Structure formats: C-alpha cells, structure tokens
C-alpha cells in the first residue's frame, strides 16, 4: 500500500504538470504574437512534454492501484515586457518543478518506497535536462537577442525542434 503523503504528492504533481503545459502554451502564445514562430514552436513542444509528464504520473498511480483525483488547472497569470522575461520565467518554473520532484522523492525515501523512487529517477534526470535547456536558451538570447539577424537565426533553430515522446516505461 502506498503511503498517503506520497500518494497525495504524486496526485498533486499531475495537476502541476498540466499547469506547466498551460504555462508553456501561454509562452507559445506570447512568442506567436511577436512573430517568433520558432520560439512559439519550442514552447509548444515544452507544453506537449509537460502533458506527457502528467500522464506518466497518472498512469503510475493507476498501475499502483491508487485513486487519481483531478483538480482544476489554474490559468497562467504572468505578463511580460520582453522576450528575456519569458525565458527567465521558464527557468524559474523548471527550478520550481525540480523542487516538487525532489519533495516527492524525499517523501518516498522517508517511507522506503523504492518503487516510487525508481519511477522518479527518470524525472530527476529529466529536470536536470530541462534546467540546462532553459539556461542555454537564456544564454543564447543574451548573446544574440539584441541583433535582429541573430535573433532570426535563433528563431529558425528553435523552429527545427521536433517532439519526441518520453522513453520511460511504466
């Protein structure tokens, strides 16, 4: 039987992952409105990844014969003055999600829930990659964002990103 606190945190993470998808869709809308389709594509793919993460948590709980309770997903309410603010908000959000994953892992560790810890190992690695990607995007924007030609090339690079489903097997 799964520990009640671990179950609650895992169930809550489903909602947090769906919120992340909403947030990244909002970021995509921002960049689409600014004519930066590549940036919009990058965040659209981020949103798809977050939806898939939510479904991985959902499936894990179901596989463990645990009840899944879906909650309302809050509307993103951030406003931005410039492109860099969006990118920095993305990094801040990924750091927040990392803290949530760490909290679930710590709760599972405390009760020796090794199966949940093993499930979370993939997410721990994934969050490291997500933070690196967000940092890299900020670095590129700092280097090239003020030059229109370089911004165009960066936008083209981001437009080439394609979605790949997670390789986590439940």
Choices 1.20.1260.10, 3.60.20.10, 1.10.357.10, 3.30.420.40: CATH for 4-159:
1.20.1260.10
| Torsion sign across C-alpha atoms 27, 29, 33, 39 | positive
- The CB-side HSE value for 27 (13 A sphere, CA atoms) comes to 27
| Residue boundaries of the structural domains of the chain | 4-159
d(CA 30, CA 132): 22
Predicted TM-score of the model (pTM): 0.93
Q: Could you tell me how far CA 26 lies from the centroid of its own chain?
A: 13
Instruction: Give the closest residue to 93 by CA, choosing from 137, 158, 145.
Output: 137
**Tens digit of each residue's pLDDT (9 = 90 or more) over 71-126:** 999 999 999 999 999 999 999 999 999 999 999 999 999 999 999 999 999 999 99
Residues in the chain: 170
Confidence of residue 170 (pLDDT cuts 50, 70, 90): low
């Amino acid at each position: 039987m799964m520990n009640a606190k671990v179950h609650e945190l895992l169930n809550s993470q489903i909602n947090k992952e769906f919120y992340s998808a909403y947030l990244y869709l909002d970021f995509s809308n921002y960049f689409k409105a600014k004519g930066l389709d590549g940036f919009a594509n990058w965040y659209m793919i981020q949103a798809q990844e977050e939806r898939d993460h939510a479904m991985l948590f959902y499936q894990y709980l179901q596989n463990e014969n645990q009840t899944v309770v879906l909650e309302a997903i809050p509307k993103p309410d951030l406003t931005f003055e410039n492109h860099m603010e969006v990118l920095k908000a993305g990094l801040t959000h990924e750091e927040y999600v990392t803290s949530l994953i760490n909290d679930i892992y710590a709760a599972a560790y405390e009760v020796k829930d090794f199966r949940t810890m093993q499930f979370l190992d993939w997410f721990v690695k994934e969050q490291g990659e997500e933070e690196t990607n967000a940092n890299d995007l900020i670095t590129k924007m700092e280097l090239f964002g003020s030059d229109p030609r370089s911004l165009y090339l960066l936008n083209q690079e981001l437009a080439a990103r394609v979605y790949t489903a997670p390789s986590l097997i439940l």
